[in-house]
Amino acid sequence: MKDQTIKKNKQKFRPSQVALFALTLVLAVFFLWPVFFAVMSAFKSNGDILKSPVALPTSLYLKNFQDLFAQSDFVTAIKHSLILTIVSEALIVCLVPMAAYAIERRSSRTTRLIYTYFLAGMMIPFHLYMFPLFKEMKIFGIYGTLAGPIACYISGSVAFGTLLYSSFLKGVPLEIEEAAQIDGCTPFQTFWQVTFPLLGPCTASMVVLNGLNIWNDFLMPYLALPSNMAKTITVEVYSFVGQYTARWDIVFAGTVCSIVPALCIFILLQKYFVKGITAGAAKG
Amino acid sequence: MAGKKKKFDTVAFGFIAPAFLFFTLFIIVPTLASVYYSFTSWDGLSPTVKFVGLANYKEILTGARFRNALINTFILTFFISILENTMALCLALMVDNVKWWKNFFRSAFYIPVLISGIVSGFIWKIMYNYNFGAINTILNSMGAGGLKQDWLGNPSLALIMVGVVLVWKGAGYYMIIYLASLQSVSTDVVEAASIDGASPWQRFRHIILPLISGAFTINFTLSLINGLKVFDQISVMTDGGPGFTTETIVYLLYKVGFNEGRQGFGTAVGIVLLFIIIILNTLQQKFLKSREVQL
C-alpha cells in the first residue's frame, strides 16, 4: 500500500521533474558558456576569433601560448601570483588561528574588545585607505616588493579569518586540550599539536576562499609592485587588454592561465568552498 | 564557558599580538591617516600637506561629478542586488529540487565566481564587441540583426551591461548561502503543509520564505556592499565611460587619486563610502534582530 503511493507520487512528478531539469540545464549552459568561450578562444587563431567567435577550434592550436610567453614576461607574472598566494596563505594560517584561539579559549573583556575591533575593521573598504597605505609601505621600505602585498593580504584576512575560526572552535571539545595541558603541554604546544590539527576543515575553507581572492586580486599588485617588470597574471591580462588591442588570442591565452588553476582547486576542494561561504555568512 | 572568564594574560597576548599588529598597521593606521588626509589637498607625492578644512566634503556635497558617481553607484548596486538575489534564490531552489546532476549544477553556477574581476570583464568585453563579439554574431545568425548594439559604447546601456557581468559572476556565491539555508528547513514542516493542502507556491511563500529570511537579509546586505566596491570590471570594460556614465564612487576615488593627483579629495570620497557601508551594516543588524524576535 505504502509502496504504491510512493510510486504514484513518482509518476505524478515525472514531467515536472524533467521540465525542471531542462530549465536548470539551460541556465547552466548560460552560466558556463562565457568560460567555455574564453577557453575555446585561447586555442583559436586571432583571425578565427574575429571571423567566427562562436565556432569551435578546428585543431589544437597552441601558437597563442607560445606568443604569450615569447612576447611578454608571463613566467614572472605566474611566479609572482604563486608566491603572493602561497606565502600569504602560509603566514595567514600561522597567525590567524592563534588569534581566534585566544579570543575563543581565553575569553576576557580585552579579547572580546579586540574581536569587535576586528569585525568593525571588516567594514573598511580597501579603496578608502589605499593612498596612505602606499605611503606607509614606502616608509617601511616594502613598496615595490612582494612583501608589501603579502603584509596587506595578511592584515586583510584577520577579520574574516578570526570570525571563521572562532565559530569553528566553538564546536571543538575542550576536554582534549585540558588533557594535553595536564600532561604538561605549554599553551603554545597545546594549540599547535592538539587543537590546530582538529581545525583542518576550517583551515582548508579559509585557504581556498582567501587564496582565490589573492590569486584574482588586481588593484593591490597593480599599484604596489614596480612597473618595470611583469606583476601578476591578473595585472598582465589587464595590461594586455590595453597593449594588444588587436591580439585577442594572446589575451585569451593569458585568461586561461588565470582560470585553470582556480578551476582545478575548486574541483578538488569543492566542499571546503561551500563550508567556508556558509560559515562566514551565518556569522557575518 | 561563561563561568570561566579569564584575565587577559601573557599567553592570550602572545597569541593575538601578531594578527593584531598586522591588522592595526596595515588597515587601521592608514584608515586613520585617510581621515586626516580627507581634510587636506594632498596630491600623494609632495611631502608638504596643505590643510583645507571641509573643502573636500563641500565639493562632494555640491559637485556634479560626485553626484553623478553616486547616482551611478546606486543604480548599479540596486540593479545587481535585486537581480543577484532573485537569480541566486531561483538557482538555489532549482538545485535543491532538481532530481539529477545536483552537484554538477551547483558547481556550474558557482564557476563564474572563481574567475577574477579583470578576466571576467575582459571575456564579456569581447562578447559585447560590436563587430566581432559573440552576442552580435548570435543575433545576426538568428536573423535579429536589428537588435545589434554597441553594448558598452552606448551611454544608456553601458552601466546595465556592466551589471549583467556582475550578476553572472556573483549569483553563484549567494546561491550557496541560499542553498545551505534551504537545506536547513525541516522537511517535516513542508510535508505537514502539503498534507494540509498547501500548493507549492503557498508552501514557498508562507513556509520556506519566512524560514530563509535570515539568509535573505545577509545576502542582500552582502550584495549591496559588494556592489558599492565594484572596481575591476569597470576598469577593464569601460574605464568609467562612455563619458562618465559608468563612473562609480570607487572608480571616481581611484581616478581623482591616481590620475588627477588629488588624493586628499579621494580619501574624502572614501570616508563617505565607509559611512554608506556602516549604515547598510547597521540596517542589516536591525533587520536580523527584529526577525529573531518574530521567530
**How large a percentage of chain B has pLDDT more than 70?**
96
What confidence category does residue B7 fall into, taking pLDDT thresholds of 50, 70 and 90? low
Looking at the structure, do residues A192 and A230 belong to the same domain, yes or no? yes
pLDDT in tens, B149-163: 888 888 888 999 999
- Over 90: is that where the pLDDT of B285 sits? no
Residue of B nearest to A216 (CA): B116
Q: Are B18 and A110 within 8 A, CB to CB?
A: no
Looking at the structure, do residues A217 and A273 belong to the same domain, yes or no? yes
The single-letter DSSP state of residue A225 is S
Looking at the structure, do residues A98 and A186 belong to the same domain, yes or no? yes
- Residue A243 zone, left/alpha/beta (φ > 0; ψ -120 to 50; rest): alpha
Q: Are A123 and B18 within 8 A, CB to CB?
A: no
Specify the pLDDT at position A1. 42
What confidence category does residue B2 fall into, taking pLDDT thresholds of 50, 70 and 90? very low
Looking at the structure, do residues A143 and A229 belong to the same domain, yes or no? yes
The single-letter DSSP state of residue B47 is S
User: Per the domain annotation, does A249 fall within a domain?
Assistant: yes
Is the pLDDT higher at B45 or at B18? B18
Looking at the structure, do residues A198 and A160 belong to the same domain, yes or no? yes
Does the beta carbon of A121 lie under 8 angstroms from any beta carbon of chain B?
yes
pLDDT in tens, B118-151: 999 999 988 888 887 888 888 888 877 777 888 8
User: Per the domain annotation, does A247 fall within a domain?
Assistant: yes
Q: Are A125 and B22 within 8 A, CB to CB?
A: no
Specify the pLDDT at position B1. 41
Specify the pLDDT at position B47. 77
What confidence category does residue A70 fall into, taking pLDDT thresholds of 50, 70 and 90? confident
Looking at the structure, do residues A143 and A232 belong to the same domain, yes or no? yes
Contact B16, A103 (CB under 8 A): yes
What confidence category does residue B294 fall into, taking pLDDT thresholds of 50, 70 and 90? very low
User: Per the domain annotation, does A221 fall within a domain?
Assistant: yes
Give the closest of B16, B28, B263 to A131, CB-based.
Answer: B263
B 97-116 → A contacts, CB under 8 A: 97-101, 104-112, 114-116
Specify the pLDDT at position B86. 94
d(C-alpha A5, C-alpha B294), whole Å: 38
Looking at the structure, do residues A20 and A70 belong to the same domain, yes or no? no
Specify the pLDDT at position A13. 57
- Please, what is the average pLDDT of chain B? 87
User: Per the domain annotation, does A226 fall within a domain?
Assistant: yes
- Over 60: is that where the pLDDT of A11 sits? no
Specify the pLDDT at position A213. 93
CATH code of domain B63-294? 1.10.3720.10
- Over 80: is that where the pLDDT of B6 sits? no
Specify the pLDDT at position B291. 67
User: Per the domain annotation, does A49 fall within a domain?
Assistant: no
Best mutation target among A106, A110, A233, A258 (most B Cβ atoms within 10 Å) is: A106
User: Per the domain annotation, does A54 fall within a domain?
Assistant: no
Looking at the structure, do residues A32 and A74 belong to the same domain, yes or no? no
- Please give the average per-residue pLDDT across A92-102, as a whole number: 93
Is the pLDDT higher at B284 or at B170? B170
pLDDT in tens, A222-281: 988 888 788 899 998 888 887 767 778 888 888 999 999 999 999 998 888 888 888 877
User: b/e map of A70-99 (b: 16 or more CB within 10 Å)?
Assistant: eebebeebbebbeebbebbbebbbebbbbb
Q: Is B8 helix (H, G, I), strand (E, B) or coil?
A: coil
What confidence category does residue B295 fall into, taking pLDDT thresholds of 50, 70 and 90? very low
Give the closest of B15, B44, B131 to A99, CB-based.
Answer: B15
CB contacts of B256 in chain A (<8 Å) are none
Contact B53, B40 (CB under 8 A): no
d(C-alpha B178, C-alpha B288), whole Å: 16
pLDDT in tens, A112-171: 899 999 988 888 999 999 999 998 999 998 888 899 999 999 999 999 999 899 888 888
- Please give the average per-residue pLDDT across B194-204, as a whole number: 86
Residue of B nearest to A154 (CA): B22
CB contacts of B108 in chain A (<8 Å) are 28, 31-32
Does the beta carbon of B144 lie under 8 angstroms from any beta carbon of chain A?
no
Q: Are B27 and A155 within 8 A, CB to CB?
A: yes
Instruction: Give the type of residue at B224.
Output: L
- Please give the average per-residue pLDDT across B158-169, as a whole number: 93
Containing structural domain, residue A233 = 65-283
Q: Any idea where the domains of chain B sit in the sequence?
A: 63-294
Kindly report the nearest CA distance between residue B156 and chain A, in angstroms: 24
Separation of first and last alpha carbons in chain B: 26
Identify the CATH number of the domain in which residue A155 sits: 1.10.3720.10
Specify the pLDDT at position B3. 42
CB contacts of B133 in chain A (<8 Å) are 53
Looking at the structure of chain A, the number of domains it has is 2
Chain position carrying cell 593569458: A254
User: b/e map of B194-205 (b: 16 or more CB within 10 Å)?
Assistant: eeeebeeeebee
Q: Are B108 and A135 within 8 A, CB to CB?
A: no
Specify the pLDDT at position B92. 93
C-alpha cell at A219: 588593484
Name A222's Cβ contacts closer than 8 Å, sequence gap at least 6: A231, A235, A238
Specify the pLDDT at position A233. 92
**How large a percentage of chain B has pLDDT more than 90?**
39
Looking at the structure, do residues A36 and A74 belong to the same domain, yes or no? no
Q: Are B98 and A24 within 8 A, CB to CB?
A: yes
Give the HSE-up count for residue B89: Cα atoms under 13 Å, Cβ half-sphere.
18
